[in-house]
Amino acid sequence: MQRAIELARQSANPSPNPRVGCVLISPDGDVVGEGWHDGPDRPHAEVVAITEAGQRAAGATAVVTLEPCNHTGRTGPCVQALVDAGVGRVIYGQSDPNPEAAGGAGQLRAAGIQTEGGLMAAEARDLNYTWSFAMEHGRPWVRWKTAATLDGRVAAVDGSSRWITGEEAREDVHLLRAEADAVMVGTGTLFSDDPELTCRLPEVQRQPLRVVVGQRAVPAKARIRLAEPMSAFVHVPNRQPEYALAELRRRGVHSVLLEGGPTLARAFLKAGLVDSITWYCAPLLLGAGREVVPSLGIASLAAAMRFKVSQLRQVGDDVRIDMEPDPGLDGS
């Protein structure tokens, strides 16, 4: 299974599909086929491994990171491919949380194939954490990214905000964009910054969907609208976070990088729809200016929103802090 997980990681980001790796082992213990899934319209990991194995797939054991799918989408069901190849045994890690594709294990057993699940399930799930979250919760996973001074300011009194953080931190943000299915801002940020929201890493294979949330129309010459590919842009003319996430879920989005300003951040925080925070803290003091988030209506320390730090590291002259909500510490 460890090898199957390593193979799955060969795929940079196959979204909207999950990362999957597969190893075929002969009855003699030899590896006869390996594969991973590269993305939409590409063969699934099991099919790649079966193709490599050829006739040696008969009687083999398939070790797969995710329960083989049991539905026909852009490609056929992996269950049927395994049955047709004569595979004798299937061992998988994570059970498929996608209701449209689940049930593969039962179909394999019905076909007479010995099937076991749960091997290194946690490690297999970590391959597709945001995809799994979206399947289990019915909405995209949301990471809020912000950059602020030591005193929590995102802009000076004169409105200037470029640049609070250094070049290294700004480059690091492009890694976050490369991981996300969608990057979101509100109309306030759109009109104040005219952002492009593309990932400018040279090796990026897929640009995230660029999303503007708000009722004001997006100008025809806005950079976010004209950036390539132009099809990777959507305007959600609604201020409600729940509505925006439902619309993105309908479009196959599983993860969102929230890059909007304080107003949009407050809306998502108050709605309880921030699943992770990446905070770039710059060694600057302003003393006044726009705050990282406006009033949340919290009157006491006991009622504060609390977060658990999962990672802290220096990025250039700035500090990156990764946090997740901790309900066990929430005083509200």
- Which of 80, 100, 131 is where one domain is finished? 131
Is 332 a member of any domain? no
* pLDDT for 329: 56
Which of 6, 34, 46, 171 is the catalytic position?
Answer: 46
Do 90 and 25 lie in one domain? The reply is yes
Is 12 a member of any domain? yes
What is the CATH number for 74?
Answer: 3.40.140.10
Is 95 a member of any domain? yes
Whole-number Å distance between alpha carbons of 139 and 137 = 6
Do 58 and 194 lie in one domain? The reply is no
**Beta-bridge mates of residue 235:** 212
pTM: 0.89
Do 125 and 143 lie in one domain? The reply is no
Is 310 a member of any domain? yes
Place of tokens 């491919």: 81
Total domains in the chain come to 2
* pLDDT for 205: 76
Do 104 and 147 lie in one domain? The reply is no
* pLDDT for 89: 97
Residue 46 annotated among the catalytic residues of the structure: yes
Q: Which of 102, 31, 37, 98 is nearest to 62 (CA)?
A: 31
Q: Tokens in use for 202?
A: 């040279």
Do 214 and 79 lie in one domain? The reply is no
Whole-number Å distance between alpha carbons of 213 and 14 = 25
Whole-number Å distance between alpha carbons of 195 and 141 = 22
Q: Which of 131, 127, 135, 134 is nearest to 22 (CA)?
A: 127
Is 290 a member of any domain? yes
What is the CATH number for 309?
Answer: 3.40.430.10
| pLDDT tens digits for range 33-78 | 999 998 888 899 999 999 999 999 999 999 999 999 988 777 789 9
Do 60 and 195 lie in one domain? The reply is no
Is 181:208 a contact under the CB 8 Å cutoff? yes
| DSSP one-letter string for 63-100 | EEEEPPP-S-SSS--HHHHHHHHT--EEEEEEPP--TT
Do 121 and 239 lie in one domain? The reply is no
Is 7 a member of any domain? yes
- Which of 110, 131, 152 is where one domain is finished? 131
Is 8 a member of any domain? yes
* pLDDT for 332: 42
- Which of 107, 131, 155 is where one domain is finished? 131
Is 23:17 a contact under the CB 8 Å cutoff? no
Q: Which domain holds residue 103?
A: 2-131
* pLDDT for 32: 97
Residues of the chain with pLDDT under 70: 328-332
Is 331 a member of any domain? no
Do 15 and 124 lie in one domain? The reply is yes
Do 243 and 275 lie in one domain? The reply is yes
Do 57 and 160 lie in one domain? The reply is no
Do 175 and 291 lie in one domain? The reply is yes
Do 195 and 305 lie in one domain? The reply is yes
